[in-house]
Amino acid sequence: MTEKQSVAALSLERDRVVVKGDWVLAHYSSLEQQVAQCRTKLPSVVSFDLSQLGKLDTAGATLLTTLLGNENMQNLRNIAPQLADERRVLLETVANSLQGWDAAPEQKTENPFIRMLARIGAAMETFWQDARDLVGFIGLTLEALLVSLFRPSSWRITSLIANIQQIGLNAVPIIMLLTFLVGAVIAFLGATVLTTFGAGIFTVNLVVISFLREFAVLLTAILMAGRTASAFTAQIGLMKANEEIDAIQALGLNPVELLVLPRVLALLISLPMLTFIGMISGIFGGLVVCAVTLDIPPIMFFSIMQSSTGIEHFFVGMGKAPVFAFLIAIIGCLEGFKVSGSAESVGKHTTASVVHSIFVVILLDAVAALFFMEIGW
């Protein structure tokens, strides 16, 4: 039969606390309330009587430790000399385990202004670290490029051609469609606004100059940032997660020369060609709208284009294409090498490569526009 447990109790007699009965898990709820009430009534000087203590387990030892307090627990042998050694050891062990858990940490109210400054500081530190990584990776890539130029045996012609096909040839339809539609939209808006001032003929100049200088290279670069940079990051990141890059290094090969250079060179070749195709498609879209809405035949369109558009607009647009291509490829490959080894990391850095590439492209395009405007181009 199960041994019957005596009822646990706690009484405060003037300046003496008497502990009675079995302090076990079965009596935990009632004892917890008694301990809480007793602690509010304890005088400054009090003694404890544990002579009537019955059974004791860890649940009861926790409550008893709370009642006695840390100072009394350190002097337990003198406070309760009649207490058995095994019970004293149990109480001391529980007290040591509860140190640091007695009081909840104070919740500090953070100043919103300080929190905003902290976020700005963290963002600036991240931006500075990303800029350093980008500059360092550009240096590694240029070094590998210069070294490989004098070693024809290290040229990856097959990989280069495969990347050109994937990056350039497969992107031609979407580039043509996108720039054609944007050219048509710009021509339609220009015709709608300029016709009210009797200057509808200048829609031709609007479409031609905007696509030669800005829209063709900008739209193509943004599309390549979303299509190609993300592909570079996912491909290299998956190789990093599968430890294939470690295997390449173990074989004595240079991952930058093997993985980065073919992709960078392929995009350097493909983006200017796609930009030229985008120029033609965008101008053709404007030509169609001008012919339909403004009754400007193609012969007149090309005549106005030839007489009023300088060749410098074409060179400005084409000159920006290799710069954008180089940075997009570098950022895509760099984010791939940053992948840690999980699927979440691959997705995170793929998103980062697209965002960073588009940001850099738009920033450089704005700087270039201001520069060419100042020099009169």
State the average pLDDT over residues 276-288.
Answer: 94
Q: What phi and psi, each to the nearest 5 degrees, are found at residue 199? A: -125, 40
Helix (H) or strand (E) holding 87: helix 85-98
Q: Are 191 and 293 in contact (CB under 8 A)?
A: yes
Q: Supply the DSSP symbol for 297.
A: -
| Reported confidence tier of residue 359, pLDDT bands at 50, 70, 90 | very high
* β-bridge pairing 16-23 and 9-13: antiparallel
pLDDT exceeds 80 at position 371: yes
pLDDT, tens digit (0-9, with 9 covering 90-100), for 143-184: 988 988 888 877 888 889 999 998 989 999 999 999 999 999
Residue 370 buriedness (CB in 10 A; 0-12 / 13-18 / 19+): exposed
Q: What phi and psi, each to the nearest 5 degrees, are found at residue 12? A: -110, 110
Residue 357's pLDDT is: 93
| Tally of CA atoms within 13 A in the half-sphere of 84 that contains its CB | 8
Q: What phi and psi, each to the nearest 5 degrees, are found at residue 20? A: -130, 155
Range name among 15-19, 29-33, 163-167, 325-329 with the lowest pLDDT average: 15-19
pLDDT exceeds 50 at position 223: yes
Contacts of 220 by beta carbon, 8 Å cutoff, 6+ apart: 175, 179, 271, 274, 275, 278, 321
State the average pLDDT over residues 101-109.
Answer: 58
- Using alpha carbons, select from 231, 337, 332, 213 the residue that is nearest to residue 275: 213
Question: From CA 183, how far away is CA 220, in angstroms rounded?
Answer: 13
Between 89 and 44, residue with greater pLDDT: 89
pLDDT exceeds 80 at position 252: yes
Residue 127 pairs with which residues in a beta bridge? none
Helix (H, G, I), strand (E, B) or coil at 176: helix
- Using alpha carbons, select from 329, 137, 334, 346 the residue that is nearest to residue 241: 346
pLDDT, tens digit (0-9, with 9 covering 90-100), for 36-51: 777 777 766 677 777 7
Mean pLDDT (the chain, rounded): 84
Domain range annotation of the chain: 9-98, 141-375
Residue 3's pLDDT is: 46
Question: From CA 301, how far away is CA 291, in angstroms rounded?
Answer: 8
CATH topology classification for 9-98:
Transcription Regulator spoIIAA (3.30.750)
- Using alpha carbons, select from 311, 333, 57 the residue that is nearest to residue 208: 311
pLDDT exceeds 70 at position 301: yes
pLDDT exceeds 60 at position 206: yes
Residue 72 buriedness (CB in 10 A; 0-12 / 13-18 / 19+): middle
If you search the block for the tokens 């181009």, which residue do you land on?
377
CA distance from start to end of the chain: 103
Q: Are 15 and 44 in contact (CB under 8 A)?
A: no
Question: From CA 243, how far away is CA 76, in angstroms rounded?
Answer: 59
pLDDT, tens digit (0-9, with 9 covering 90-100), for 46-73: 777 777 777 777 877 777 777 777 777 7
Question: From CA 203, how far away is CA 187, in angstroms rounded?
Answer: 6
State the average pLDDT over residues 345-374.
Answer: 90
Q: What is the phi-psi region of residue 21: left when phi exceeds 0, alpha when psi lies from -120 to 50, beta otherwise?
A: left
Q: What phi and psi, each to the nearest 5 degrees, are found at residue 336? A: -65, -40
Q: And the tokens for 153? A: 């045996």
Residue 331's pLDDT is: 93
- Using alpha carbons, select from 321, 317, 286, 322 the residue that is nearest to residue 302: 286
Helix (H, G, I), strand (E, B) or coil at 7: coil
Between 315 and 91, residue with greater pLDDT: 315
| Tally of CA atoms within 13 A in the half-sphere of 188 that contains its CB | 10
